[in-house]
Amino acid sequence: MEAGDRPGRLKVGVLGAGKVGSALGAALATAGHRVVAASGVSDRSHRWAVERLGVEPVPPDEVVRAADLILLTVPDDTLPDLVTGLAATGADLRTKLLAHTSGAYGLQVLEPAIREGALPLALHPVMTFTGRDDDLTRITGCSFGVTSPEPLRPIAEALVLEMGGEPVWIDDSDRALYHAALAGAANHMVTLIAESSELLRKIGVEHPGRMLGPLLGAALDNVLRLGISGLTGPVVRGDAGTVRKHVDALILAAPEAADAYVVLARLTADRALAAGLLKPEAAERLLDALGGNIWT
């Protein structure tokens, strides 16, 4: 008996065989499910359908027709139109598991398909995918934000576990805030580090990554273990003079970075003050250095 024919194994279709879709499809195949069809728009997604999933790309309606579990792994802005389009085509969605991987959306975006009998799941991998081969190993141990109707919760969580992930239940009404928290941490961290690297290059540091790596690794370890209590640096020390020098230097070198620095320094001071790490008088000095009210 082939793996795809074992009890509980599903025929999987992937609508959007890009970075995420090809990785998750491959993970499900490793767990014993069988990828039977995939679609994609770009040449790269067509290549990944063949190389990672072992299928030739076909139109979306053929993916729906062939699969028991359909992964909707397309960009967030594309997802509503895709679901509406599937429902409008009259494709037989009855009893088919329809799982999107968007962090921002919950079940509402699947409503047109639900009305046609689809069984909705939201399975968002909390991981960044780059299109490289290590995407396939990064899934192991990563969290998934899971949302589904209560009767489907065991199925949703089982699929995540089979892919090697850790299911974390997110209430449907909390999906937007959940995704904002993740994007604010991961995406903005990349921007901040890229900006810092560029500033260091401007003053002649050849390998900013070597300088930043140990510092950032320690900072990340601190905050994950200790929360705001792991905060270090001039803001939590109340070094208003140093903070003012930072702002002045950034205004000259990178004005857009100066604006971001001031906003983040205010947020840092606000959190430090609330946690009792920063004394009110020190916060007042920082207020003057930052040129605004940290309580507004």
Pairing of strands 119-125, 143-147: antiparallel
pLDDT at 6 > cutoff 70: no
Domains of the chain: 3-170 (3.40.50.720), 177-290 (1.10.1040)
What 39-46 contacts at long range (C-beta under 8 Å, 24+ apart), as own/partner pairs, is 39/14, 39/15, 39/63, 40/16, 41/16, 42/18, 44/18, 44/131, 45/16, 45/17, 45/18, 45/21, 46/17
pLDDT at 4 > cutoff 60: no
Pairing of strands 166-169, 143-147: parallel
Amino acid 292: pLDDT: 53
Q: What is the DSSP secondary structure assignment for residue 204, as one 8-state letter?
A: T
Amino acid 132: pLDDT: 85
Q: Residue type for 28, please?
A: L
Mean pLDDT along residues 52-63: 94
**What does pTM read for this prediction?**
0.87
Mean pLDDT along residues 164-185: 96
- pLDDT one-digit tens code per residue, 63-94: 999 999 999 999 999 999 999 999 998 889 99
- pLDDT one-digit tens code per residue, 119-162: 999 999 999 898 888 888 899 999 999 999 999 999 999 999 99
| Residue keyed to tokens 């499910």 | 33
Give the rounded percent of residues in the chain with a pLDDT score beyond 90. Answer: 89
Paired strand residues for 98: 70, 120
281 within 8 A of 269, measured Cβ to Cβ: no
